[in-house]
Amino acid sequence: MARISLEHIRHAYSPRAKAAGDYALKEVHHEWEDGGAYALLGPSGCGKTTLLNIISGLLQPSDGRILFDGKDVTQLSTEERNIAQVFQFPVVYDTMTVFDNLAFPLRNRKVPEAEVEKRVNEILEMTDLAGMAKRRAQRLTADQKQKISLGRGLVRANVNAILFDEPLTVIDPHMKWVLRSQLKRLHRQSRFTMVYVTHDQTEALTFADKVVVMHDGQIVQIGTPAELFERPSHTFVGYFIGSPGMNFMPASVDGAMARVGDQTIALANAPALKGEGRIELGIRPEFIKLGRDGMPVTVNKVEDIGRQKIVRATFCGQPLSIVLAEDDDIPTDAKVSFDQHAIGIFSDSWRVENQSSGQGG
């Protein structure tokens, strides 16, 4: 178990990278707390797996250093870093039995056989594979294969961290839920530092204490699920977290007033704008009220998704999504009003903090 520090890590797959665009991973400077459960969330190709492989040592970063508990491990191999990693694609050694598969990482490290027996049996119990321990690991379902893969990641007792690279992609939805809660429980028991890569926001938000959102090779926000939802620091986080995503519309700001089209919207505080950026006003569909008071809006479509209704509307020429409870009425001459405290102002895609709060943007 270790605190993992990434110091100015950058990575390019081509050795001749110069421009920022050549880097698959732009500068990452971040500390992973000892015993934390992190999710790395982002779309495919955003650099999540690259970052994970750099931590585990499968990749050498082009620039920067990695420290485990303050000790530089940048040049160390995967074995020396003592890290467990589970891959998206299940890896099973089909010449061995299921038991031997799970024992493999321990036996390679010369763990005494009695200890191997004990650890493997625990994992077999946890992953529900006890019934097939003596079977050769062949002709297994995708679920079973991935459970073996997961088990090999979890079987070692003294790892610095366990890394998961979209481990549940091939697993069916029900089993996904079960395995995820087992992982969560395991984390609470063992306090391993865990980093979990996924592109599924539900998975990230349920597994992790802290979610790290990545976009285009860089970390755009690190926060608890609630922070990501309520105060996205980048328009990408707004889009990516939540369903439907946050509404963004071009705006201009004058003090504590924002103008969208020909409408003026009062803000709770004056944002601390610096310089001339492209200004956008953002609001989550959950914080918009549809009623008889407020600003004019045109309702285009209503999607009923069970316990909620999603209203697709046009506001000042901009598309606007609104989430309503199932039994809320939609008046014929509908007007909208925004919850003042839920409005965010974004300059060049980054959130602008309020003047009074004194935080940096």
Which residues from 18-57 bind other proteins, rule CB under 8 A?
53, 56
Determine the interface stretch with other proteins among 66-74, 103-111, 201-209, 264-272 (rule: CB under 8 A): 103-111
Q: Using an 8 Å Cβ cutoff, are 282 and 344 in contact?
A: yes
Identify the residue among 8, 33, 93, 202 touching other proteins (CB under 8 A).
93
Token pair belonging to 296: 């004019």
58 binds other proteins (CB under 8 A): yes
Identify the residue among 14, 60, 75, 95 touching other proteins (CB under 8 A).
95
Identify the residue among 36, 42, 47, 105 touching other proteins (CB under 8 A).
105
177 binds other proteins (CB under 8 A): no
94 binds other proteins (CB under 8 A): yes
170 binds other proteins (CB under 8 A): no
108 binds other proteins (CB under 8 A): yes
Sign for the CA dihedral angle at 177, 182, 188, 191 comes to: negative
83 binds other proteins (CB under 8 A): yes
Which residues sit opposite 271 in a β-bridge?
Answer: 354
Determine the interface stretch with other proteins among 15-23, 77-85, 194-202, 316-324 (rule: CB under 8 A): 77-85
**Cis peptide preceding 225, ω within 30 of 0:** no
60 binds other proteins (CB under 8 A): no
Which residues from 133-152 bind other proteins, rule CB under 8 A?
136, 138-139, 149, 152
158 binds other proteins (CB under 8 A): no
> What is the Cα–Cα distance from 98 to 82, expressed in whole angstroms?
23
Q: Which residue has the tokens 């997961």?
A: 150
Which whole-number Å values give the CA distances from 117 to 103, 113, 114, 190, 191, in the listed order? 8, 6, 5, 19, 22
> What is the Cα–Cα distance from 171 to 177, expressed in whole angstroms?
10
Q: What's the chain's length in residues? A: 361
> What is the Cα–Cα distance from 358 to 361, expressed in whole angstroms?
9
96 binds other proteins (CB under 8 A): yes
> What is the Cα–Cα distance from 297 to 100, expressed in whole angstroms?
64
Identify the residue among 89, 268, 296, 317 touching other proteins (CB under 8 A).
89
79 binds other proteins (CB under 8 A): yes
Which residues sit opposite 219 in a β-bridge?
Answer: 214
Applying CB under 8 A, the residues found at the interface with other proteins are: 53, 56, 58, 77-79, 83-85, 87-89, 91, 93-96, 104-105, 108-109, 136, 138-139, 149, 152-153
